[in-house]
Structure 1
Amino acid sequence: MKEKLGKVLTATLDAIEDPDTPPEERARYTEAVQGLNEALEVILDPNTTPEDRARYMRIVEGISGALSISLDPDTPPGDQDMYAAFAGYTGRAVTDLQYPETRPEHAEDREHILRVLEETSKSPVTAQDPNASAEKRDEARRKMDQWADSLENSQYLAFVKEVKRHKPPTACIDTIENRTRQAGWPHGSLWGLSSPSCAATVSEAADDSSSKWSELFECVQRDPFSTCVVRIPKD
């Protein structure tokens, strides 16, 4: 893994420095490299628990695998963009988990997001595993497509519509969107909703007893957001 990661990092840094790399792609690669650095620091920290070390190892494998696919000239352009985005947003999520001003307030939520990132990181690894069956590679690709379409999920769109009904600040909507790109629907979305930029919106929405969404907002206002998924309206 160390040798493979070294090659991927070298190729990624070359892409970042290449003037022909589009700015958005360069930003994703930069976020991926930063996330890898943060994850490796956690892995090498003697105070890290074996369970967390294993989780971060799998996340590093996922980011590295996504970068490898994105940088492969034989990868179709659309897939190159998707895997670069996955590497970047996952890397940014790893970075944000390390700092008090960006990570979830509750330890339970931090653990939850880490498990989500660990699970999603399996897909890029499986997608390029020559020993994986065709069925497993297809399933990995399906999960990647699902991740890429998080902002088009019908429940997510209904959720954002409800948030916007309470006239949130732009920072709140931007945070929800970014967290959803990082950790998907619904986990990333509720991570975004729990941010300070959404506090006034959450309070107002929680008080709106006429809405079927009020229980979700009340839960996010009161409890760790990872416990609130069951409050999402079923219909």
Structure 2
Amino acid sequence: GTQQAVTILEKMFPDAKIERADLDTTQRKKQWQQTMKDFHAGNIDILVGTQTITKGYHFPKVTLVGVLWADLNLHFPIFNAAETSLQQLIQVAGRAGRQSDDSLVIVQAMDDHKIFQYLDETLYLKFYQNELETRSIINYPPVQRLVEIELKHTNEFIIEREAHDLGITLQHHATRMKKQIQILGPAKPPVHKIKNTFSRKIYLKSAQIQDIILIYKLVDLNQYQCAIYFTPNPVT
């Protein structure tokens, strides 16, 4: 993580003032604000942190930005992973003082993904057009509406059984009501257990969000032991 990066940088630049800015080091708001203030003033030479340090801050003196493992989110099964990853990279690149022609952004990744062709923000419209074409082919937003249903329970056997039953029930209602709804799952999300609580997800796609809401309301949720969350238009 960030600590390992700091250790390497300290060996490479022994005379530089290097600080971390992540949840471990800046849990208190005042501490976070002081770190940002010191970096903006030039009292910190190298700041290592998560993507949070790129949001809402402007550092005109910064002329070099490095991004490690830039394709991390692209390996998750999320339909808008390319869109959100590119937005984050463009935002990060913007931290390298736009006023200077000498500014440099170095991006490290494990794979040569197509989004790296569009790091220049002037090319974002071209990315948008290509992404929209792909979404049209596979019927994902904004071409169709998407709803996420998440189940949570501390017993994995119960959640497996109820997620399977809910998927069948939703399909039954969609067929009975003659609604064109595609039901995906249930499936384990990439992170499917947090603090002894398991989760499963079901996704529903349709041209009409009202159709999805209709069949969901037909389900008797009281028969399930799991906590069930209904999220229209889920984003990462």
Which structure: greater strand fraction?
2
TM-score, with normalisation over the residues of structure 1?
Answer: 0.26
TM-score, with normalisation over the residues of structure 2?
Answer: 0.26
- Structure with greater Cα Rg: 2
Specify which structure has the bigger relative contact order, considering alpha-carbon pairs within 8 angstroms and separated by 6 or more residues.
Answer: 2
